[in-house]
Each structure stands twice: as C-alpha cells, then as structure tokens.
Structure 1
Amino acid sequence: MSKRRFGRVRKLPSGRFQARYPGPDGVDRTAPHTFPTKKEAEIWLTKKEAELLAGDWLNPDLGKVSFKEYGAAWIDERPGLRPKTVQLYEDLLRIHLVPTFGNCAMSEIKVANIRRWRKQLLDNGVEPVTVAKAYRLLKAIFNTAVEDGLIKSNPCTIKKAGKEESPERPVLTMKQVFTLAGAIEPRFRMLILLATFASLRWGELAALQRKNLDPKAGTIRVVGTTTELKDGSVTIGPPKSEAGKRIVSIPATLLPDLREHLETYAEKGEHGHVFVGPKGARLRRADFTRAWAAALKKAKLSGFHFHDLRHTGNTFAAQSGATLRDLMTRMGHSSTRAALIYQHTAMERDRAIADALGKLAEEALKPEEPEPEEQDPDGSGT
C-alpha cells in the first residue's frame, strides 16, 4: 500500500477513521471529527491540503475562543464609539446574545443556530426592532472574526434580518401641534415648537446654548447633542455625523415667542442652555416626561412620542415643496433614505390634491343639459 503524500489516516478501535495532518505552524493537527470510512477521511485531507496550498488555512485554535469573550473584546476594541452606543451594545450582548451563544466557541456557531436564536426571540415577544439591532451586532462581530482569521465565513446570512421595520409613526396636524404647545408647561412650549418647526432631535434641543441662536437672523446652529446614560450622567458631544452639524432656519412667526422664552426661562450667558429643568438644572428626559404626559392628557391626545414632533415637522417641510437635498440638510442626514420617505409622503399628498383638482375639472367640463322648453299657458308652445 502506498503511503499518503499528505497527512495520515488510521482506524480507531471504534471502527471509525481519524485524519491527521501537519499544520503550517508546525503543529500536528487532528480533524475535528472522525469519519465512517477511510475514503471520507482521505477526501477531507485532500481538501485540507488544498486550503494550505491556496493560503486559505485557518488555525482552528483561534476559533475556540468563546463568543462571550470575543464579543466583549469586540466592544472594548472600538474606542471611537459614543457612550450611548457602548451602552446599547453591552445591553444587547448581555440580554439577547450571551444567554444563547456565550459559552459557544466562535467556530461552532452556524447558520442554523442563528436562525433558531432569532425565531426564539421573536416567539418570546421581543420587539422586532430590538431583534434586528441584536442581529446587526452579531453580524458585525462575526465580520471581524472573519477578518481576524477565526472563521472562514460569516454565519449571519438571513436576508433582511437586520432591517428595522418600525411601524409608521403618527403625524400631528398643525392645530394639534399648537394645542399641545399650549397645554404643556410654559417653559417647554418652545421645546415643542422647535422640535416641530426646526426638525430638531431631543438631544440637540437639550444641548442648545444661547450662542447657537441668532434670533435676528432667525437661525439655529446645531453643533452638539446630549446623551443620558443609565448611571444618570449626561454628556454633550458632536452630532453622529458631519451632516448633523447644520444651520436651521426658524419660521419668523416663532421668533417673538423665542425671544420671550430666552428672557424668561433660559440660562444666562452665551454658554447658557436654552432649555433647562423646572429647578433650573440641566434638562433631563425624566423631568420632561412628566410634563409631556400631562400635556398630552390636557390636549386630549394619546399615542404620541416626542420624536413624532420631528417626524411631523419633516412631513410639513416635504409638503411645503422642499427638495430631497433640502430635506436632508434640514434633518441633518447624510443619506437619502429617510428624506425619501418624507418626499414620498409629499408625493402621495400631491397626488391626492391632483385627483381632487381633476374631479373639479371633470365637473366643469361636463356638457350642460339643455334647458326644457318653456310652454305657453295655453299649451301651444313658444
């Protein structure tokens, strides 16, 4: 019997066959499983030799690191992440990923494992948006594992599993916006109006300082945003992207109210915050949430979130005829995806207007029915 040129195959007492080969690192390595026939063991060795010759060989020891260990290191090795993002990733890892994959070796996690994990989360009532975020994090971790040479390919291959499909949020009417602004504590009235008519996010409003306002020109310079962490700390940093740094115009009709707000409620000095809490401290969501809930009840509105004000303002802007680029600039987005949603909404509204105009035109173009001939009193006609 001729000796194999690469690797060795031997029959075990159990009757199965074991394959061994010399790794490029000088270590004699054993196949991760045994084979029912000698031929199958030899085929495996042939494939392993081809990997070595092509430079595709991976050290199997690297893939033995646990997902829990590798996932935690993955977060730690990204120093540029915002505190809020770190907090989100740690929560997703701890609550939704580690319980299932924590003790598994990275190389052991396969497509079927991930498919079952995802279905189990959804079956257990976890919000689809949260599941999508957890899946995206899982996929990102495995992408890095591929780059690090732990595994050959990413097992996260479920189509659209990382796509967030949030339900469509409601849009307030113009009257509802001003009703809500009138129902909330006076110190928060301008917060409601600027969130709507300047398309500002909560964090951008909470970080807004006097020096960022130009009441004469009617503009706001957005340069920062606040982040509240679970430990109660609040940080102020730049917007998520360069597009988030922008100058937004304020409707002229709101400027008198803005000046009054600055005189009455804002902190003094150019670095003073425009919006503060009831006791003059830094504005926090917890303080505002109570006022928001009371205002919704007073205004007889329900089911609205604060972010719906920005959504409403973006919709108003689209309906006013803003272009795609106008919307992207005002919203502080670098991609067209979100702006296209509002432009689509405006087009739907424009179509409704066009259809209504068409009906009016159809009515106007209908041929007039001939008037009945007048009859003489004696019935002889005209």
Structure 2
Amino acid sequence: MSKKRRFGRVRKLPSGRFQARYQDPDGVDRPAPSTFATKTDADRWLNKIEADILSGEWRNPDAGRIALGGYLLTWIDHRPNLRPRTVQLYRWLYKRYLANEFSGVMIADITPSRVRAWRAGLLAEGTSATMAAKAYRLLHAVLNTALDDELIRRNPCRIRGAGETHTPERPVATVVQVLDLAGRVPARFRALILLAAFTGLRYGELAALRRADLSQGLDTVTVRATLTTLNDGSVIFGPPKSTAGRRTVTVPSAIREDIRLHLRDYVADTADALIFTGAKGAVLRRSGFQTQSRWTQSVTEAGLPGFHFHDLRHTGNTLAAGTGASLADLMARMGHGSARAALIYQHAIQQRDTMIADALSLSIDVERDRARNGHDQPSDPS
C-alpha cells in the first residue's frame, strides 16, 4: 500500500498517466497544468509546489492570465505625472510595434525566447535600432510592473543592451557662432537664441516664459512651465519636465540688454505676457519658429549646417562646463537630477550659477569687442 502524501494528491488516470492536485494557500484546489508519465514525476512536481509555498515563492497560476494589451494600456493610464507627449508616444509604440505580437498574449505566457524573436523580427523588418530600443524599454517597464504585481516570477525581457540607444554627438557652437546666428535670425528671435545658448533652457521652457518669470533686473529667469505640442497640432502649457526642471537660472549680464530691448519691442507690458511669440503674437510653435526664423538658412550662413535648436542647449552646457562648473552645478543649471540632489545643493548652486553666468558673460564681451575692432581670429585664451 502506497504511503499517503502529506501535501497534495496523485491519482492514476484510465490513460495510464498521473494527475497531481494540491490545495493552494487560499484553499483553492488546483490541478497540475499537465499530466505526468510516472507517479514519481507527479510527486516531484508536488514537492516543488510545496517548497514554493513554504518559501513564499509560489505564485497564483491564474494571476498572469491577463492579456498584455489591456494591461499595458491600463499601465499607461495609471502612470503618475506622465507628460501628454509621453502618453502619446507610449500608445503609438504599443500600436506600431507591440500590438500585433503581444496584444492578446497572456502575460504569464510571454517568455524570453518570444521576446527575442519579436525584437529580431522588428530589426529584420527594417525598424530602426532607436525605435526598437524604445519599444523594448516600454515592454520591459510594463513587465516590471507585472513582476511587482506578482503576476510573473521574473521579467522575460532579458536581452542585454536591447533598451540602449547610441546617438551621435551633437555639434557645439562657439560663442562667436552663437552671436553670429543671433544676428542673422529676424530681430524678434535674437533674444531667444541668446537665452537658449547662454542659459541652457529647452525650447518648450523658453516658449512658455512670461514676463513675470524674469527678475526685475533681468539677472535671473525662472522656469515654471513648458510648452508641449501634441500629435494633433494642439499646444498645452504644463509643468516642467521634472522636479529639477523648475529652477531659477542666472542670465549672463552681457545679454541682459538684448533681453531688455526684446521686452520693449515685442512683449506686452503685463506680467503674464509671453516673452516669445510668433510674428502675429501667437504662441510660438516650434514649426512656426523654424519657418519664421529662416532657421536652415541662418545656421548654414553661420557656418553651422545641420545645427538644431536643441544644440544651443548642448552648446550652453558645454560652455558652462568650460567655466569650471562642477557636475552638481551643471545639473542644477540645466534642470537635470533628482529633487533631493537639487535641495541638497540649492544654496551653493545659486552662488555657483552666478559665477557660471559671469564667466559666460566675459566670453561674450570679449568676442563682441573683437568683432567691433574688426578682428576675425579667435582670441588667445591665455
């Protein structure tokens, strides 16, 4: 007579195979997902289930029986503080790259091999490495949440480096080239170019600036909002990109007169008046700026063919680094880093930020003086 099991039950079926059943921690009677060729195999499976329950590793096999498509869309809806453009990007990535393969697939059935095959298929079809990486990062993030929800035991996205993107280094303009570019665009955009390069503000942050965001002496600018253009062409004003994005940046004294003249000539005398607008006074969309500023022609004439507006921010960060600023100083000025880091360095950063602006201002004054005196060769840094 066979010994009765302490955990679970095994019975022989008319087919000759063996079925295993057990009671889960919630009292639900559960069969093994398949039958076994021998009683020993069934016993071993029950022993593993018992060990998982005792160690806390057991997972409800029904938990992962949720289709990825619905779970992913709910995941997007429940993400806190996602920017509208990010929501649109996630939904587009899902529809374009994930839905066909995973929409109706149960989360528990997504295996590492299936993820590898999906990614290989994207690349074989000609999907760019950048888009494949973005889609993979989205899938990885969603399945990480499924892991936290105890729907799966391990994230099946395990391809080393699959979520990484490698973008080429963007060009950096010299102070002379920035000043030249600012002189080539229509006058209403001169201050925009100078602020972008010498304060490092993003385009959306600049387009959302209002008169009240500038201090009375024009020595600082405070970022409180950002302008976002959605896929349907509509624009919205929202909070900065991150907590660190809400910041006050010192304006180099050498460009404050340019800003004063811009305020006089192009900005209404009310606290909430936008500082930068289109030729007809409307919100300055990026596309409108590209056209009205004659951007492609202007950067080419300035010796910067292919230069993007965002490269002005990269330029400003590089120039600021050249003043001897620390990493913490640069992170604060550019709006990068955690809120905790920003709070820790807040007092020291404001002092250092003024020093950065003063050093940038000196470089601007030197190049302007050289231009007035007819020199066209770089100044001797010594």
Query: In the alignment, what sits opposite 1:376?
Result: none
Q: Structure 1 residues 177 and 272, CA, compared in 2 at 3 Å: closer, same or farther?
A: same
Q: Residues of 2 paired with 1:10 and 1:106: CA distance?
A: 31
Q: For residue 11 of structure 1, report the CA deviation from its aligned partner.
A: 4.9
**Identity %, equivalent residues:** 54
Aligned residue among 293, 296, 300 for 2:299 = 296
What TM-score results when the alignment is normalised by the length of structure 2? Answer: 0.81
Matched, 1:330 2:333: yes
Write out per-residue CA displacement over residues 279-319 of structure 1, whole angstroms, 9 at most, x where no aligned residue: 21111112112232342344453222211110011111111
Q: What are the within-5 Å matches in structure 2 for residues 236-315 of structure 1?
A: 236-290=237-291, 291=293, 292-299=295-302, 301-315=304-318
Q: Residues of 1 paired with 2:122 and 2:47: CA distance?
A: 41
Q: Structure 1 residues 11 and 187, CA, compared in 2 at 3 Å: closer, same or farther?
A: farther
Q: Residues of 2 paired with 1:58 and 1:50: CA distance?
A: 12
Q: Structure 1 residues 267 and 13, CA, compared in 2 at 3 Å: closer, same or farther?
A: farther
Q: Alignment partner of 1:96: what SS? A: helix
The code of the aligned residue for 2:319 comes to F
Cα-Cα RMSD: 2.3
Q: Is the 8 A contact 1:267 1:276 kept in 2?
A: no
What TM-score results when the alignment is normalised by the length of structure 1? Answer: 0.81
Q: For residue 14 of structure 1, report the CA deviation from its aligned partner.
A: 6.1
Write out per-residue CA displacement over residues 124-165 of structure 1, whole angstroms, 9 at most, x where no aligned residue: 343333333322222221122122221112222233333332
Q: Is the 8 A contact 1:204 1:226 kept in 2?
A: yes
Q: What are the within-5 Å matches in structure 2 for residues 1-382 of structure 1?
A: 1-2=1-2, 3-11=4-12, 16-214=17-215, 216-290=217-291, 291=293, 292-299=295-302, 301-334=304-337
The code of the aligned residue for 2:232 comes to D
Q: For residue 16 of structure 1, report the CA deviation from its aligned partner.
A: 4.8
Q: For residue 75 of structure 1, report the CA deviation from its aligned partner.
A: 1.2
The code of the aligned residue for 1:314 comes to N
The code of the aligned residue for 2:304 comes to L
Q: Residues of 2 paired with 1:175 and 1:11: CA distance?
A: 86
Give unmatched runs, 5+ long, in structure 1: 337-382
The code of the aligned residue for 1:54 comes to S
Count of aligned positions: 336
Q: Structure 1 residues 13 and 169, CA, compared in 2 at 3 Å: closer, same or farther?
A: farther
If asked which structure has higher relative contact order (CA below 8 Å, sep 6+), I would say 2
Q: Alignment partner of 1:64: what SS? A: coil
Q: Residues of 2 paired with 1:68 and 1:236: CA distance?
A: 30
The code of the aligned residue for 2:296 comes to A
Larger Rg over CA atoms: 1
Q: Alignment partner of 1:261: what SS? A: helix
Task: Single out whichever of 236-245 and 268-277 deviates more from structure 2.
Answer: 236-245
Query: In the alignment, what sits opposite 1:353?
Result: none
